[in-house]
Amino acid sequence: MTITEKILAAHTDEAKVESGQLINARVDLVLANDITAPIAIKEFEKIAAKNVFDKDKVALIPDHFAPQKDIKAAEQCKMMRDFALRQGLSLYFEVGRMGVEHALLPEQGIVLPGDLVIGADSHTCTYGALGAFSTGVGSTDAAATMATGQCWFKVPESMKFIYYGKLNKWVGGKDLILHTIGDIGVDGALYRAMEFDGEVISSLGMAGRLTMCNMAIEAGGKSGIIVPDEITRQYVTGRAKRAFTFYTSDADAKYVDVREYDCSKIEPTVSCPHLPSNTRAASKLTHVTVDQVFIGSCTNGRIEDLREAASILKDKKVNSNVRMIVIPATQAIYLQAMKEGLIEIFIDAQAVVSTPTCGPCLGGHMGILAKGEKAISTSNRNFIGRMGHTESEIYLSNPAVAAASAVLGRIGLPEEIGL
């Protein structure tokens, strides 16, 4: 079996499962946010469920429109808070303790290797970086699972992606996954588990792995996953709130497709409007001016991402024609960035730094685009209207390219400013 099949089998009473099989599986965690939780709560009450299956296995995180941007957002968040209090949930994260959900849960040791996690948010696939099976579901499935502790699945086929060679300067996990999506398309892994492997992955830090698995959904993937190793162990040791299990893929496991990439040929990569698969080398886009730069989100709002951006911006200024928004993904990341002097670098460069929120990533608040404006963002989607007006444009990149673009006033590379 593949690692995905092993994890799914371990959460059923089956000794073995195979792709295409329909199963009911026990879940280790159900997640919802301030957009999806209110729908799930209403459905939970509609089926007359009294209590959640386990008050320590349901996580509610207000992060999309929080801190609450208007009355409607406030009502959504209040519904979550009231439900969490009624149910006695231990995993409710109020503003001040919250963070962007897919950065917060790994950081806090709440999702772990070997887990089966569902979330009413498409980027729940992020946790595959830890060697877990995690996937997004609809709010009604989340409601049923909150009540029963089980969810139905069709066991996905697995694709393997092997990355070898030496990474070029300023190339990281974001570039690898953008390159991959550019290769296979936004439906190239439809309802499949994307298993990332190879020497480059083995040496990639957890931040890069989380970024790659986060964007599996942008290729249509059911999940992204990386077999856990020593880097995984170092990350979860000291964070884990409970026992965890490392699974691996068997040598004779079946894959519907195997792709290999020579990373020495991959440059810093940018997704152009209006699909993540519309990729080009950043070096080919230096004619594109930008109005806004956003560094943050569940894709690239971790401390490693902020360090990379700050290394570009140190002793420099954001172009006078550009507004730059930096949002650390969690309170702990924000505090660490302060201790390291990164926040000072951003403010000296005339960027604005916000409290943790998804905010501009989904066109929620804290950085909406006007008609005709162009943004370069470290987030994960660039669909029409994703960050604001339907006639705005979004380019996706890694933090180094985004920061260099902020200085240049156009898409550009760190080398262009002497780095």
Question: Do you find a cis peptide bond into 360, omega within 30 degrees of 0?
Answer: no
- What pLDDT, in 10s, does the model give residues 265-304? 999 999 999 999 999 999 999 999 999 999 999 999 999 9
| pLDDT band (50, 70, 90) for residue 312 | very high
Q: How many whole angstroms from its chain centre is CA 384?
A: 20
Q: Which of 418, 395, 416, 419 is nearest to 174 (CA)?
A: 395
CB 295 within 8 Å of CB 329: no
The share of the chain scoring above pLDDT 90, in percent, equals 99
Output the CA–CA distances (angstroms, integers) from residue 347 to 230, 334, 338, 353, in the order listed.
37, 13, 11, 7
Give me the pLDDT at residue 241, please.
87
Q: What is the dihedral of CA 208, 210, 212, 217, to 10 degrees?
A: -160
Candidates 225, 246, 215; CA nearest to 160 is 225
The Cα–Cα gap between 317 and 315 comes to: 7
Q: What order of strands is seen across the sheet that includes strand 257-262?
A: 223-225, 192-197, 157-164, 257-262
Percent of the chain scored above 70 by pLDDT? Answer: 100
Q: pTM, whole model, 2 decimals?
A: 0.96
Phi, psi values for residue 145, rounded to 5°? -75, -35
Q: Give the Cα separation of 260 and 198 in Å (integer).
A: 9
pLDDT of residue 59: 98
Contact 201, 227 (CB under 8 A): no
pLDDT digits (tens, 9 = 90+) for 68-100: 999 999 999 999 999 999 999 999 999 999 999
How many angstroms separate the CA atoms of 58 and 53, rounded? 9
Q: What is the pLDDT of residue 404?
A: 98
Q: Which two tokens stand for residue 397?
A: 């990149």
| 169 pLDDT tier (thresholds 50, 70, 90) | very high
Residues 98-124 have a mean pLDDT of 97
Closest listed residue to residue 100, CA positions, set 296, 311, 278, 243: 296
Query: What is the band of 383 on the pLDDT scale with cuts at 50, 70, 90?
Result: very high
CA distance 159 to 185: 14
pLDDT of residue 53: 98
For residue 55, is pLDDT > 90?
Answer: yes
Cα atoms found within 13 Å of the Cα of residue 132, Cβ hemisphere only: 28
* Average confidence score pLDDT of the chain: 97
Q: What is the mean pLDDT of residues 20-24?
A: 97
What is the distance between the alpha carbons of residues 292 and 302, in angstroms, rounded to a whole number? 20
The C-alpha atoms of residue 20 and residue 129 are separated, in whole angstroms, by 23
Q: How confident is the model at residue 181 (pLDDT cuts 50, 70, 90)?
A: very high
CA dihedral for 405, 407, 408, 414, sign (positive or negative): negative
* Cα angle 250-254-259, degrees, rounded to a multiple of 5: 100
For position 364, what pLDDT does the model report?
94
CA dist 247 and 128 (Å) reads 12
The mean per-residue pLDDT over the stretch 135-141 comes to 96
- For position 412, what pLDDT does the model report? 98
Rounded distance between C-alpha atoms, residue 194 and residue 127, angstroms: 13
Domains of the chain, start order:
3-261 (3.30.499.10), 269-417 (3.30.499.10)
Q: Which residue has the tokens 């409970």?
A: 242
Give the mean pLDDT of 346-360. 97
User: What's the whole-number mean pLDDT along residues 377-392?
Assistant: 97
Question: What band does 368 get if pLDDT is binned at 50, 70 and 90?
Answer: very high
Torsion-angle region of 109 (φ positive above 0: left; ψ -120 to 50: alpha; else: beta): left
Question: ∠ CA(414), CA(212), CA(220), 5° rounding?
Answer: 125
How far apart CA 6 and CA 115 sit, in angstroms, is 11
Distance between start and end Cα atoms, the chain: 45
When pLDDT is averaged across residues 194-211 and rounded to a whole number, the result is 98
Q: What is the predicted pLDDT for the residue at 199?
A: 98
How high is the pLDDT of residue 419?
Answer: 86
